[in-house]
Amino acid sequence: MLIGFDLLDRQILDRDGEPVGKVDDVELALGEDGTPYVAALLVGQQALGDRIGGGFGRWLAGTARRLAPDPARGPIRIPYDLVAELNSAVNLSVSRELLPDPPLETWLRDHLIARIPGARDAG
């Protein structure tokens, strides 16, 4: 598997086909025999900021950390064993409601988007 080609920036869909986000980074681990494997998919602005680096990346990741309920928690982590199928998208075996929302998106939704007239009426 070529992680940069097969996983990074792929759309993640829940079991019902609803979008969850994109794969912003991956977490690797070592098996008992020393072979590396993908342990989890990392999602959200904190993972993306850490991946792209530089001034903008540090700002993005730092903002996401400050808005998170627990800043020490790290990026959103989806264990790789929840991946049901990998094709043009990453299809999960669970519903989106079981996964946490990225803190920056939650803050923007609650403090910016919700203030737009008619935003709460959208269906």
pLDDT digits (tens, 9 = 90+) for 13-31: 999 998 888 998 999 999 9
User: What pLDDT does residue 79 have?
Assistant: 94
Topology at the third CATH level for domain 3-121:
SH3 type barrels. (2.30.30)
| pTM, entire model | 0.74
Map out the domains of the chain as residue ranges.
3-121
User: Which residue carries 């912003």 as its tokens?
Assistant: 24
CA dihedral 12, 46, 63, 55 (to 10 degrees): -120
Percentage of the chain lying above the pLDDT 90 cut? 37
Over residues 42-66, the mean pLDDT reads 87
- If we measure between CA atoms, which residue out of 12, 15, 34 comes closest to residue 78? 12
> Can you tell me the distance from the alpha carbon of 49 to that of 30, in angstroms, rounded to the nearest whole number?
24
- 122 pLDDT higher than 60: no
